[in-house]
Amino acid sequence: MDRPWKGACSMKKVLSMIIVLLLSMALTGCNMQSLLGGLMGSKEKTSSKSSQQEEKKIIAVALNQEDPNKDMFLLGIQELAEKEELEVKVLTSKEQGDANALKDAKVLIVQAGEQSFLKEAEKGDIPILALNGLPPGVKAKGVILPDPDQTGKLMAQQIQGKVTEGQVVYLQGEAEDAVAQMNMAAFKQELGKNPKITVHSITNPPQSETIAVQSLMEHLQKNPGQVKAICAKNEKLLALAYELLRSMQLTDKVQLMGGQANSKSLQRIASGSQIADIDTSPYVQGVNAFQWAQKLMDKQSVDITQSITGDQGEVAAKIIPVKTVTTENLALIQKSYAKAAEAQKELERKKSESQTKGSESQGKQKSTEKSSNEDSGKEQSGEGKDAESKEQGQEGSSSAQGQSGGQGVMPEGVSKVTEKVHTEILREYLDEKGNVLGTEKNANDQVRTIPPEMLLKEQQQQQQQQQQQGEQGQQGDRQDKQGGNSSEQAKQGE
């Protein structure tokens, strides 16, 4: 016997199940859509943020302001940065205390810095490249320094040529300095070849060179006539030792030898107050520091096979060859240092002018646009120079478009743009007549990736600059014409 009510109940159950399933799918679909939308939005924000970070690459530099060769270090860094169009932010001791000092910095090249400042860089995962020595208390990614063994050996060889017996005092600097320890070890080993010469080393706490000089004075007083030569790791120690010898009237009896050639020590060699010094190539150190920093920013591998041990363990090291400066090659080295000093001044002058022009351009931009709109009627009438300057402005704009490929011009399907950069530095050593006596060549090949949108932005900026120049030229011509009209009116009045 059929039971229609059972069939009806079954149909109701099926329909109710379908309704529940549809509601569930609808609700789930909404949640999934919301979730996907959130993820896509987050991805777009992340992509936009990373693109902005790629556009701005800053190398922060903190140098020892008391180092006599700081301008040479900086010149090597800035010259390459200018060619590569990268920004270098030079931080003073005061700026290092600012919480935003390392904002947008991708690498920190440091020669000297406060411990808290270095720790802040380490905490922010900013790679630290040490210049001319290792900073204490932080783990550097690498170090660029003059060959410590060769420096100590060459210093000792110059002493051997002047001293046959007696005491030689070596002002080592900071006792915990790993580079100074290596200098001292090589110095002692070389002088140890003559058993008649004894070496007495003097160290000092950090930034306390006067303590070392006080110890030197006491040693000279306790050993009258026995000290035949004084050597110093750096210029600051050697300059203090020289002043001490002058005050004790011992400049004619005690030889001076340095380990860090600079403009002042070269003058002492020229006057006979110092026998020799070591050229540590500060410019070349700066060049190598920049090249290393650039590779770190571009996530490229660095071919470094040497290392030194500091208080934080093994650190990769780029060792720069050194050479002795004596009276024989003094004129050549002096000219090289003088040219570098002039180049640094010129670079700073250009930078200052660029900053001044940039601020003036921003201030005048609005007034230029306003005056351009007011005089648009006169320009359309084609009066004399106005029409000519307008044509020149248009020619400049079209020229910029031709050079950059035009506004927004980019081949279809481009997702990545690469540039192959070949950097070559040739350092020449000249005599007094300008003849080249020797050269040093440094070359580096790099491939870097540039976002296409960055190139389009650069093209647009170039075109805007050309248009502004055309507008400024038009404004200048109008002022000349107004001046001419005023003088004519004045003549008529007379």
Q: Is the domain of 216 the same as that of 162?
A: yes
Check residue 148 and give its pLDDT: 95
Check residue 400 and give its pLDDT: 38
Pull the structure tokens for residue 253: 């009896």
Helix then strand then coil, in percent of the chain rounded to 5, is 55, 20, 25
**End residue of a domain, out of 251, 281, 311:** 281
Q: In terms of residue numbers, what domain contains 181?
A: 148-281
Check residue 333 and give its pLDDT: 93
Q: Is the domain of 264 the same as that of 295?
A: no
Q: Is the domain of 180 the same as that of 272?
A: yes
Any domain includes 300 = yes
Q: Is the domain of 173 the same as that of 272?
A: yes
**Which pTM value belongs to this model?**
0.63
**End residue of a domain, out of 261, 281, 301:** 281
Any domain includes 211 = yes
Pairing type for strands 142-146 and 313-320 reads parallel
Spatial distance between the Cα atoms of 47 and 53, rounded to a whole number of angstroms:
10
Read off the CATH number of the domain in which 225 is found: 3.40.50.2300
Any domain includes 345 = no
Check residue 248 and give its pLDDT: 96
Task: Tell me 96's DSSP state.
Answer: G
> ∠ at Cα 461 (457, 466), nearest 5°?
150
> ∠ at Cα 390 (386, 395), nearest 5°?
150
The separation between CA 273 and the C-alpha centre of its own chain, rounded to angstroms, equals 35
Spatial distance between the Cα atoms of 309 and 330, rounded to a whole number of angstroms:
34
Q: Is the domain of 184 the same as that of 195?
A: yes
Task: Tell me 76's DSSP state.
Answer: H
Specify which residues 319 forms β-bridges with. 145
User: What residue spans of 317-451 are helical by DSSP H?
Assistant: 330-374, 376-380, 384-404
Spatial distance between the Cα atoms of 167 and 106, rounded to a whole number of angstroms:
49
Q: Going residue by residue through the chain (494 aa), what tens digit of pLDDT does each one get?
A: 444 444 544 555 556 665 555 555 544 444 444 434 444 455 455 554 444 445 578 999 999 989 999 999 999 999 999 898 899 999 988 888 787 888 889 999 999 777 788 888 888 899 999 998 888 888 899 999 999 999 999 999 999 989 999 999 999 999 888 899 999 999 999 999 999 999 999 999 988 999 999 999 999 999 999 999 999 999 999 999 999 999 999 999 999 999 999 999 999 999 999 999 999 999 999 999 999 999 999 999 888 889 998 888 899 999 999 999 999 999 999 998 988 888 888 888 887 777 676 656 555 555 555 555 555 544 444 444 444 444 444 444 444 344 434 444 566 667 677 767 666 677 776 766 676 666 666 666 666 666 666 667 767 777 777 777 777 666 666 665 555 555 555 445 44
Report the amino acid identity of residue 300.
Q
**End residue of a domain, out of 281, 309, 339:** 281
Task: Tell me 304's DSSP state.
Answer: -
Q: Is the domain of 93 the same as that of 158?
A: no
Q: Is the domain of 141 the same as that of 289?
A: yes
Check residue 73 and give its pLDDT: 94
Is 282 in contact with 337 (CB distance < 8 Å)? no
Number of domains in the chain: 3
User: What residue spans of 254-329 are helical by DSSP H?
Assistant: 263-271, 282-297
Check residue 411 and give its pLDDT: 66
Any domain includes 353 = no
Q: Is the domain of 390 the same as that of 301?
A: no
Is 66 in contact with 236 (CB distance < 8 Å)? yes
200 contact partners, CB below 8 Å, separation of at least 6:
167, 168, 169, 170, 219, 227
User: What residue spans of 129-196 are helical by DSSP H?
Assistant: 148-160, 178-191
The separation between CA 441 and the C-alpha centre of its own chain, rounded to angstroms, equals 20
Q: Is the domain of 187 the same as that of 258?
A: yes
Pull the structure tokens for residue 24: 């569930």
Any domain includes 36 = no
Map residue 455 onto helix, strand or coil: helix
Q: Is the domain of 410 the same as that of 438?
A: yes
